[in-house]
Amino acid sequence: MASDPLGFLLEQHRRLGPIFRVRAGHLKLVVMAGERANAFANEEGADFLSNRETWAPTLREFGAPNNFVGLDGEPHRLLRKKFASHFSRKAAEARLGDLVNLTLAAFRERSAGDEIPFVGFSQALASRQVGTLLVGRTPSQSEHDAILRYTNAVVVNLSLRRMPHWLFKASQGRQFRSDRETAFRFSRELVEQRSREGFGESSNFIDAMHLASREHPELFAADELVSAGLLPFFAGVDTVGQTNVFILYELLRHPELLERARAEADRLFEAGPLDARALREADDLNGTVNEALRLHPVAFAMPRTAACDFMFEGFRVDRGESVMVFTSACHFDPGYFPDPERFDIDRYRSPREEHRRPDVFAPWGRGPHQCLGAGLAGIQMGATLATILHHCDLELAEPEREFPHLLRPSLSLGPEFKIRFNGWRRDPSAR
């Protein structure tokens, strides 16, 4: 399972059906998969599947034990509603110029002929975008590296439980402690800066956290605001960064699709500054993003804990059991997506619209804890892709090499995957 978790779960689902048990090292998991599992999570998950028990260890480590990510029921709904506008499509569309400029700035740091380890590059770019849009500061490269290493280590070991909690705590070395210190220093400085400037009702997530803590102090632990500058990076950098890698991996392997997407990107920019409505209507670019999310679902399953005993498809799940809702299982079912292993960006156009069936296309999860930032991330990825295709000449550094899915901690092509930057197609200084 560790070498190809997505492939393993697909194989077991096809062999064993909509619910089965697996053992992975010290972990025992109940896996629920398929359309009915997604419907169950969406319609009954609030009653039977707990997010709090899964994420509580991670959020305690972050100093945010009551963060809305780990709350269930009415407290979760209340805070989710308060923060929704900061993670919305509209919020990202209002900052399209920033997304474009940050993307161009990342490539300006490269020279023609550079072979870029693209996973790290893409994560760093996503980090700059998240910092600019949500907390008002772009982390330095060293801060980004420390935050990513720290948050990934915590999530992998405390919530995904790659190793027992006691072993994780015993194994924390100098690098982990240094990364933790850097991450919290970065977050504290952001909060202190907002405090000096005066908290307000801005697009800054730290302001939103401060306002919510004043209105609902019972939902916040002491000093929980210190973590406010850290949480957007934990939630958004790895997923967006890894998905952008898969998008370009597929386009650069399919020249005919690359040409279509590039032509559409050129039309968007030739009409003037990138426009939100035009981007929403860009069928080839949006189809490319959606198809990468389908075929390479970075968050391919939702870890949960059974909140009480329940029955699913004739099988009993006991309270306290670890549950994995394999939300992306339908992505590979030919009954929903014909020829599912084929990268086909036209699946999402009328009249096909293969993603429109409820509980089938679920790259952002299902249920009350479905990704709050899906709208923001979609625009972030679309704007980044359009900018890269219009301005940059790229090719695969190793076009004949196959890169399997790795788990790092999201689905990934790994550090060896590289893209060659051949220079500029369009001079960004001429904009």
Per-residue pLDDT of 156-207, as tens digits, reads: 999 988 888 788 888 889 999 999 999 999 999 999 999 999 998 777 999 9
Q: What pLDDT is stored for residue 282 in this prediction?
A: 98
Q: What pLDDT is stored for residue 1 in this prediction?
A: 66
Q: What pLDDT is stored for residue 2 in this prediction?
A: 63
User: Is 421 within 8 Å of 110 (Cβ atoms)?
Assistant: yes
User: d(Cα 83, Cα 43) in Å, to the nearest integer?
Assistant: 22
Which residue type, as a one-letter code, is found at position 1? M
The answer to whether residue 212 scores a pLDDT higher than 90 is yes
Per-residue pLDDT of 113-131, as tens digits, reads: 999 999 999 999 999 999 9
Map residue 21 onto helix, strand or coil. Answer: strand
The full set of domains in the chain, from first to last, is 5-430 (1.10.630.10)
Give this prediction's pTM. Answer: 0.96
Which segments within 190-334 are labelled E, that is strand? 302-306, 310-312, 315-317, 322-326
Which residue type, as a one-letter code, is found at position 419? I
Per-residue pLDDT of 220-249, as tens digits, reads: 988 899 899 999 999 899 999 999 999 999
